[in-house]
Amino acid sequence: MKQDMKYEEGVRKLIDISKDISELYRQMNEIIAHLKECNKESIRFDPLYIKELLYKNTWLTEVYDTMLVHICINECFDMKSWLAGEYTFDMEEIESWVADFNHRHAASIKTEEVLKSMQFEYGVDLALSRSGRA
């Protein structure tokens, strides 16, 4: 019963995020249209305002990438069983699942990001190589 509530709450949050992103997309398109109109009339915007818009866009991209990592973990791994020690996975399986996730969802998350998240956010003890931490 508790699992169902968590799932429904998660779906509700995703729907809310989808609405927020749609609204942000609409606003960004309005700003682009406004800037195009201003460009025709040689009206200049404050450069700090434009930089702020670009900074927010970069931040949004980083958050989106982080969310994709967690969606991949949620979709590909049974974390409860893994944390309980019922299952273990080797590096090849993990790489294959991440590659499959990327292919299915046209994403480009890195296996290293999934491993870092599993280690630092879920407490899964994984041996990361130096190249994995770069």
pLDDT at 9 over 80: yes
Provide the pLDDT for residue 45. Answer: 65
At 130, is the pLDDT very low, low, confident or very high (cuts 50, 70, 90)?
Answer: very low
Provide the pLDDT for residue 134. Answer: 38
What is each CA distance from 124 to 88, 101, 110, 116, in whole angstroms?
Answer: 11, 20, 17, 9
What is each CA distance from 57 to 11, 16, 53, 64, in whole angstroms?
Answer: 24, 19, 6, 10
Residues ≥6 apart with Cβ < 8 Å to 78: 87
Provide the pLDDT for residue 129. Answer: 42
Provide the pLDDT for residue 131. Answer: 41
Domain borders along the chain are 1-44, 46-134
Model confidence pLDDT, tens digit, residues 77-129? 877 777 777 777 778 888 999 999 999 988 899 999 998 888 888 777 665 44
Q: How far apart are CA 56 and CA 49, in angstroms?
A: 11
pTM: 0.59
Average pLDDT of every residue of the chain: 78
Provide the pLDDT for residue 42. Answer: 64
Nearest to residue 116, comparing CAs of 104, 134, 103? 134
Model confidence pLDDT, tens digit, residues 13-43? 888 888 888 888 788 778 777 766 776 676 6
